[in-house]
Chain A
Amino acid sequence: MSEFGLRLAISLTQIAAVMGIVIVTVLILTLAERKVLGWMQDRMGPMEVGPYGILQPFADAIKLFFKEDIVPAGANKLLFTMAPILCLIPAFIGFAVIPWGPNWKFEVNGISVTPFVISDINIGILYILAFASLGAYGIILGGWASNSKYSLLGGLRSAAQIISYELNVGLSIVGVLLLAGSLSLVKITDAQAGGFWNWYLFALPAPQIFAFVVYVISSVAETNRVPFDLPEAESELVAGFFTEYSGLRFAFFFLAEYANMVLVSCVAAALFLGGWNAPYPGTIMALLGAPSLAWAENTMWFAVKTYSFLFLFFWLRATLPRLRYDQLMRFGWKVMLPIALGNIVVTSLAVFFYNQMK
């Protein structure tokens, strides 16, 4: 096999594995969300399909697959078809730079393979942010191409909201980047090794607690989740930007939203919560005499952090009502933005004096 062919095969295998994990996670999330919401509201959630409703995601998928797919009259057919795909691609593409486990390398016929990250590029977080903001196009075009007032309103709201909060996401992680001195997610994660006091959420000289709060709130807004679900706003805009969508196209929007949630959670875990690093120094597997299994422990920690963050999404949804539009904007620009900017100033000064003292 030629070198190019081997490279391609390795990359495709990794991509297939990561896509598989993400899609399975999304399936779990669609069920978990309904279940957790149900439990928090003294209901049961889905119970009919399979024992305790665990086959509900498959039933949903089959239903969406066989539903009639309608393109409304007067819709821009090309954009109407493209919009869900434009939403989905940026949501999935960001997973290319997420480090799932320890920073390993091994060689196959002279080609170095990093099994736990598809591609360790040195502008990883910038890449994710760039593509995350592309997802707004899908929503806006979907709303506009539907030829419906409600969809258009949902899309327009989404445009303003995503731009406002994307800004805050970008600014809130600058502190972490200052501390790490790198944009590569692998390097940022490696820098947080050795116990939870080294995580950037708590790390000296500048704990990023405020930045983390800003990041959590902004990422909820960016993924269009309650309490910032104004693009959907089913009580005022019918169903928002996807009012006219049905069947598989609607499923794509749905999938994109959940994939975005997973992506945002992964980034939060990698930037603030130490990524795959365990909250204690060393590994339990090494103490048990199986240091070669340490990767399993570390990957487990990454999953735990990601899923805890996803649980936070459900928890917020079960608790909070939707914000009004002017409240959303005021909160984003007058509260979140100054906090994020202040955090950058404080972190910069702290890093500067810390380096002077060394």
Chain B
Amino acid sequence: MATTPTSKRLSLSEWFKTVTFYEILVGMKATLSHLLNYRPVTLQYPHEKRTLPDNYRGMLALLRYDDGTEKCVGCDLCEAACPSRVIRVVSAEVPDEPTKRYSKEYYMDMTRCLFCGMCVDACPVDALGMTREFEWAVYDKRQLHLNKQQLLAIGDRSFPVREKRLELQHPNVAFFNVAFKHVPPKPN
């Protein structure tokens, strides 16, 4: 018992508090008061959900223009900006349009993503967005390796109202931008 503090004489009130378990009774009063004024802080999660803050950074998604054209031009800047090497872009020329490119394949390994949002910042054409989805628990990690179709689907789901048409963009952006017409335009 090397750590025992040197014994000091208890005052009468201290002694009385010790023998009557005063401190324990104070603690028990505290717990009982919580029982009597019962106000739970719990949220019954799957049934009721928190309102997310406006700047919540959830699942990443690829976005489209109003007419269904993909925004991504395959510039690889998101891949370069990503600190944890989540993104892999395979870009290709748009057929018959030698100045324009698009992302032929686009992969995200969401097992490594730390949702920093740097890829979204880096994107010059706003092709990447952060949605407010967060329920992405899966049984198999491989399900978190997302390809382009899945990322576009997330984008379509999370941003049903899409941004302005390609033609209305700033001329400079519009010139270098996708115009990959192989994607069928939105009906109507």
Asked if A42 meets B40 with Cβ closer than 8 Å, knowing A36-B35, A315-B32, A326-B1, the reply is yes
Residues of A within 8 A of B40 (CB): 38-39, 42-44
A39 touches B1 (CB 8 A): no
Which chain A residues (21-58) contact chain B, with CB distance < 8 Å? 36, 38-44, 47
Please count the residue pairs between chain A and chain B whose beta carbons lie under 8 angstroms apart in the complex: 38
User: What is the CB-to-nearest-CB distance from B106 to chain A, in angstroms, rounded to a whole number?
Assistant: 40
Q: Interface 1/0s, chain B 13-37, versus A by CB < 8 A?
A: 0000000000010011011101100
Point out the residue from B27, B28, B34 that lies within 8 Å of A41, measured CB to CB: B34
| B42 and A40 form a contact (CB under 8 A) | no
Task: Find B35's partner among A40, A316, A320 (CB 8 Å cutoff).
Answer: A40
> Interface size class for chain B?
10 to 19
Q: Which residues of B contact A319 (CB under 8 A)?
A: 24, 27-28, 30-31
Which of B34, B40, B44 has the largest count of A CB atoms less than 10 A from its CB? B40
Task: Given the known inter-chain contacts A44-B40, A44-B44, please indicate yes or no for A39 contacting B30, CB distance below 8 A.
Answer: no
| CB pair B24 A39 closer than 8 Å | no
**In whole angstroms, what is the CA distance A319 to B28 when docked?**
6
Residue of A nearest to B40 (CB): A44
Would you list which residues of chain A between 223 and 241 have a CB under 8 Å from chain B? none
CB distance from A219 to the nearest CB of B (A): 16
Within 8 A of B (CB), among A145-191: none
**Cα of A318 to Cα of B29 in the assembled complex, Å:** 11
In the docked arrangement, what's the CA distance between A38 and B35, Å?
9
The interface residues of chain A lying within 8 Å CB-to-CB of B42 are 42-44
A316 vs B24: C-alpha distance when bound (angstroms): 9
- Among the listed B24, B27, B32, B34, which residue makes an inter-chain contact with A42, where contact means beta carbons less than 8 Å apart? B34
State the Cβ distance, B26 to closest chain A Cβ, in Å.
9
A-B CB contact pairs (8 Å), 23 listed:
A36-B35, A39-B40, A40-B32, A40-B34, A40-B35, A41-B34, A42-B34, A42-B38, A42-B39, A42-B40, A42-B41, A43-B41, A44-B42, A44-B44, A47-B44, A315-B28, A315-B31, A315-B32, A316-B28, A319-B24, A319-B30, A320-B24, A320-B27
Instruction: Beyond the given A39-B35, A39-B40, please list 7 additional residue pairs across the A-B interface where CB-CB is below 8 A.
Output: A36-B35, A40-B31, A40-B34, A47-B44, A318-B31, A319-B31, A320-B24
